[in-house]
Amino acid sequence: MDDLRDKYISAISGAADEAALEDLRVQAVGKKGEVSLKMRELGKMTPEERQVAGPALNALKDEINSALSAKKAALADAALNERLKTEWLDVSLPARERRVGTIHPVSQVSEEVTAIFADMGFAVAEGPQIESDWYNFDALNIPGHHPARAEMDTFYTHRAEGDNRPPHVLRTHTSPVQIRSMEAQGAPIRVICPGRVYRADYDQTHTPMFHQVEGLAIDTDISMANLKWVLEEFCRAFFEVDGVELRFRASHFPFTEPSAEVDIRCSWEGGTLKLGEGDDWLEILGSGMVHPKVLEAGGIDPAKYQGFAFGMGIDRIAMLKYGIPDLRAFFDSDLRWLRHYGFAALDQPSLQGGLSR
C-alpha cells in the first residue's frame, strides 16, 4: 500500500495537464484501477486482516482523490495565471492629457478678487449693462452739463422717433450698481460689483468693452482709514508679492468726497514690469468717501450713514499681475493667447488653496 501511495502521489504532483490527471485517476481509483482491485481482494481476507486493510485502503483512496482534486485546482490556477499574463493591462498609466479649454484671465482675476473680498465680508452684486442715464450719471452726482459725461466716451442707444426721453447708455462704469445695491439693500451694506463696462476708446490699454469691479461699504462708523486698510489688504492678497506698496493720491470724482487715486509701486527695469520695487507708480483704482448726494440718491440718510467706494479695472490688474502687455488681445479669441495666458479649468482660486497656482 505504501508503494501504491508513493507511486500515485508523486505521479499526480508531476502531472502536466488535466488529461494526464484523468489517466492517473483511472489507473488508481477507476473501476479497474489498482486501488479498486485491491479493495476487491478484501473479500478473500480474514476478518482480522480486513479490519486493518479496509480502513487503510479507504484512506488511501481518499488521499489519492484529494491529491487529484488539489492538483486539478492547481493546474486551473496556473492556466488562469498564464492567460492573465497575456491580458495584462496597466490601469495606473496616467491619462492622456485632454484639452477642455482654459479659464480666461478676466474670469480668473474676477474669481480671485471675489475670493479676497468675500473673505472681508463683501457680497457680490450685479446690475444691467444697458443702464439708464439716471443710474449711470445723475444718481452719481454727474449732472447733464458735467465734464465727466463727455470724458466717459459714452455709447448711447437710440430712442424711437418722437420719443423724447433720455436715451439709455451702455454703462460706462460699474458705479451705477452702487445706487441699485443701496436701493435694494439699504444700509449697512458691503458689496463688490464686478462686470462689463463700455467706452468708445481703442488702443493698447483701451478697448470699447472692458471690466471693472466696484466696491461699496456703508455703515455708521466708516472712515478713509477703513478704505485704506481694505485696499492694502486686497493688494497684498491679490498681487501675491511681499511688500506691495501703495500710494494714495488726492483726486476728484463727482461721486466721492474726498477722493483718492491709488498707485502701486513698480519698476520697469529691463522693459519688464516688477511690482513692489523701483521708483515708478502705476495707477490701479479710484476711490473715496461716498458723496452725501449719492447716498441720498440711493435712499440712504447721509446724516446717519457714511461709507467708502472704489472702482478698479479688472483687465488692468490682470495685465499687471500676469504680465500681459496688450489689452486688445484679451478680446481677440486667439487660441494660442488663451492657452498661454489662460488658467487650468478645474483650479478654483481660493485664499486657502492659493489664488493662482
Q: Does 127 bind ligand DAH (CB under 6 A)?
A: no
Q: Phi, psi at residue 308, to the nearest 5°? A: -115, 160
Helix (H, G, I), strand (E, B) or coil at 101: coil
> How far is the C-alpha of 279 from the C-alpha of 106, rounded, in Å?
28
Q: Does 218 bind ligand DAH (CB under 6 A)?
A: no
In the block, cell 479695472 appears at 313
Judged by CB under 6 A, the stretch of 69-77, 185-193, 240-248, 282-290 that binds ligand DAH is 282-290
Q: Which residue's CB is nearer to ligand DAH, number 57 or number 191?
A: 191
Q: How many residues bind ligand DAH (CB under 6 A)?
A: 12
As given in the structure block, the three cell numbers for residue 28 are 488508481
Q: Phi, psi at residue 203, to the nearest 5°? A: -160, -160
Among 311, 327, 330, 355, which residue interacts with ligand DAH (rule: CB under 6 A)?
Answer: 311
The closest of 240, 177, 205 to 327, measured between CA atoms, is: 205
Judged by CB under 6 A, the stretch of 103-111, 125-133, 229-237, 248-256 that binds ligand DAH is 248-256
Among 33, 176, 254, 288, which residue interacts with ligand DAH (rule: CB under 6 A)?
Answer: 288
The closest of 276, 269, 287 to 217, measured between CA atoms, is: 287
Question: Which residue of this chain has its Cβ atom nearest to ligand DAH in the complex?
Answer: 311
Among 266, 300, 309, 329, which residue interacts with ligand DAH (rule: CB under 6 A)?
Answer: 309
Q: Does 253 bind ligand DAH (CB under 6 A)?
A: yes
Judged by CB under 6 A, the stretch of 33-41, 228-236, 276-284, 286-294 that binds ligand DAH is 286-294
> How far is the C-alpha of 53 from the C-alpha of 47, rounded, in Å?
10
Q: Does 181 bind ligand DAH (CB under 6 A)?
A: no
With beta carbons less than 8 A apart as the criterion, state whether 207 and 331 touch.
yes
In the block, cell 500515485 appears at 8
Q: Which residue's CB is nearer to ligand DAH, number 181 or number 287?
A: 287
Among 108, 110, 207, 256, which residue interacts with ligand DAH (rule: CB under 6 A)?
Answer: 256
Q: How many CB atoms lie within 10 A of CB 125?
A: 22
Judged by CB under 6 A, the stretch of 36-44, 74-82, 240-248, 281-289 that binds ligand DAH is 281-289
Q: Is the bond into 105 cis (omega within 30 degrees of 0)? A: no
Q: Does 310 bind ligand DAH (CB under 6 A)?
A: yes
Q: Which residue's CB is nearer to ligand DAH, number 25 or number 168?
A: 168
Q: Does 176 bind ligand DAH (CB under 6 A)?
A: no
Task: Provide, rounded to whole angstroms, the least separation between the CB of residue 213 and ligand DAH.
Answer: 10
Q: Which residue's CB is nearer to ligand DAH, number 122 or number 253?
A: 253
Q: Does 314 bind ligand DAH (CB under 6 A)?
A: no
Q: Does 117 bind ligand DAH (CB under 6 A)?
A: no
Q: Which residue's CB is nearer to ligand DAH, number 171 or number 321?
A: 171
As given in the structure block, the three cell numbers for residue 284 are 490701479
- Nearest-10 crossing angle of helices 105-119, 314-322: 100
Among 110, 136, 154, 175, which residue interacts with ligand DAH (rule: CB under 6 A)?
Answer: 175
Q: Segment 320-349, which members bind ligand DAH (CB under 6 A)?
A: none
Task: Provide, rounded to whole angstroms, the least separation between the CB of residue 309 and ligand DAH.
Answer: 3
Task: Provide, rounded to whole angstroms, the least separation between the CB of residue 210 and ligand DAH.
Answer: 10
Q: Which residues bind ligand DAH (CB under 6 A)?
A: 173, 175, 214, 253, 255-256, 286-288, 309-311
